[in-house]
Amino acid sequence: MEGSIGPYERTLRIRSQHVTCCRRLRLSVLLEFFQEASIAHTEALGMGREKTLDRGLLWIITKQHVDIRRMPEYDEEITIRSWPGEMMHVLFPRFYEVVSGGDVIITGSALWMLIDAESRGFIFPDEHGIEIGEMNTGHALPLPATIRERLPEAGDPRVRTVPRTASFSMLDINGHINNCGYFDLTDDLIPFSVHERSHPVSVDAEYLSEIRAGENFEITWLTENGTWLFEGRSDRPKFRIKLTGM
């Protein structure tokens, strides 16, 4: 299978449904583009739904990193590129580029894994005949790293918290809030004036435990010196997001 097909590539035009009121690409949509590229390429490599979804196996993302030199704008034509890295036991690294006018304006990486739809626990890919070979494109991109920063303890006046519930419209095909959806939730907590003047130059995310239908959770956040830290939790941490450069 390895070498039978090259990196994934798709060219598209940014439409009105892709952008914010500031006419820049919505962060959640950028990550949706990456997610769709990952799925389409995985299928092209022979690891489609008949080997995963139809057998009760679900793809999920555990960590993500994105560097943004410039965010695409309304009516701009961009090309999404994606390719897999070397498998890491149960993890599938994947890399991304966004190209506009011949320039790479966004790079990113993610760590994917497969879980069992019933138990929601991770599976060993080799036991199910699932393998995706590394593609060496000559573009060395960093893998996502753990977010080291932690929010202060409860009671710190700098920290804010809002309650949320996983409603029907938030859920994806796996029956939980999609990782992209967290960025719409956190975007709503950033003042309009901040969105208007800037976008993050670096994005880090950890998806620690899924949020399923009807589940109540809280989003806690802190902003200092252009960095925004968010944590979603209910009985335990569900996700962490770090936006830098806003």
Residue-wise pLDDT tens digits, 193-215 = 999 999 999 999 999 999 999 99
Check whether residue 101 and residue 137 sit in a common domain. yes
* End-of-domain residue from the set 143, 177, 200: 143
Same structural domain, 136 and 152: no
CATH number at residue 165: 3.10.129.10
Q: What is the pLDDT of residues 132-148, one digit of tens each?
A: 888 888 777 899 999 99
Question: What percent of the chain has a predicted confidence (pLDDT) above 70?
Answer: 98
Domain closes at, from 114, 143, 172: 143
* Residue 107 pLDDT class (50, 70, 90 cuts): very high
- Average pLDDT, stretch 174-197? 94
Residue pLDDT, tens place only, 236-245: 999 999 999 9
The amino acid that residue 101 corresponds to is G
Q: Which domain holds residue 100?
A: 1-143
The residue among 143, 175, 191 that closes a domain is 143
**What domain count does the chain have?**
2
Q: Is there a single domain that holds both residue 84 and residue 121?
A: yes
* Nearest in space to 70 (alpha carbons), one of 14, 24, 9: 24
211 to 63, 77, 79, 114, 182: CA distances (angstroms): 16, 34, 32, 17, 10
* 16 and 128 part of one domain: yes
Q: Report the alpha-carbon distance of residue 216 to residue 207 in Å, rounded.
A: 17
